[in-house]
Structure 1
Amino acid sequence: MIQTFAALLIAHILADFVLQTRWMVARKRRPGVLLLHAALVLASAQAVTGQPAAPGLLALAAAHLLIDWVKLRLPPGLGAFLGDQAAHLATLALAAALMPDLWASGYWPGLLPEAGAVLTGLLWLAGLVLATRAGGFAVGLLMAGLAAAHPPEGLPKGGQVIGLLERGLIFVLMTAGQPEAIGFLIAAKSILRFGTVTASEDRAVSEYVIIGTLASFGWAILAALATTRLLATLA
């Protein structure tokens, strides 16, 4: 069951945060685009589990479509994003409970002698995507209202790149068993930001930076802890 859940989780992260483009997100209210996303969800689940004909995966894709349809009718924001992902995780857990042998009976364990190691590697990569790309969406939604009132100055998309890099570094350090090194990352960022904040003497900017940094670091740490825990159950 744990292997099946891990495989379905990998497929979900692949479909939602890698294969789903910004073009698709912007046009997802169109029925054709929503169906295209559901088709990618189904294809990802079929590919990762090695079960191209499992009817349960079709039901899982239909549930994903329904959850996304409901989300599109809610006010956009961090709450809708987190609720959407929580609902998806619940359906993945239910699918794994109802189809515990989905991974074991798929193609990959028979084709690949080290299928378990491949699954572990894919899960780590999925966790990295969750920490970086999914974290970018979550932090961006959290900061959207603050950015509207106090738009930050700097390089175009500079903050996004910094966030991706810092969350990626934190995830790697946490999963490598070196959480104490995160303190040096926090110190380095604080030193680099100190001159800007004191020069501008803008309390709003300093608070904006602190909130964004804590949210970014917190998301990456939680993603790393969840990934590490799931990897331990697969070992």
Structure 2
Amino acid sequence: MILFIKLLLAHLIGDFMLQPTRWVIHKEANKVKSKYLYFHTLVHFLLVILLLWDIGYWKLALVISVSHFTIDLLKLYASNWIKKNSVLFFIDQAFHIIVLYICAYNSNLVEHTVALFQHVNWALVTAVVFVTYPAAVVMGKLLEGFSDQIQIDHKSLPNAGKYIGIIERLFVLLFIIIGRWEVIGLLITAKSVFRFNDLKESNNRKLTEYILIGTLLSFGIAILTGFVFITMRGGL
């Protein structure tokens, strides 16, 4: 485990702290001809050696740095087909972490992976997944009759309300699981304060009622999910 953690730390430092924006821009413009692509690869090699503090790991560092170079290069050329940088970013990071995992547990990769899946708390995974998009869909259906009566604010960010709801439900679920109910009250208060000025300026009673219903429904779904998870965990 400590080996994987050190490799991950080296990756985080190399990719986010020791990679200036001008390097990124130069790589995107020049791709394989960019000198910074090679500098970036060398940085990762040196970081692995430094954090492991053992020159005997040079082969491991070489494998990681070469794979990092390959993945970054593929990402640069994939940008011609995939226009969303966020999608490329997460795919790129996922492949980097998979390589680090394989390198850290190469001696017992299959056994460790099987054991890892055997220890997954599937009830928790299900609860987390439910309070994200499935709960958003459920809320959309329940509020469908009200949403038709609300004038859309074109100044709002696209889907901002949905993502705010997902994040708040994840927080509520977390606080219930760790038994910190008082923090949920603070979360409700914080959201009310942020919403107060908007509702005051709009002077729209229907919008106020709609947001209130949506907020209570969102928190209610998260709390109910938390109760179900705790009940299931107690029965396991």
TM-score w.r.t. structure 2 length? 0.49
Highest RCO, 1 vs 2 (Cα 8 Å, sep ≥ 6): 1
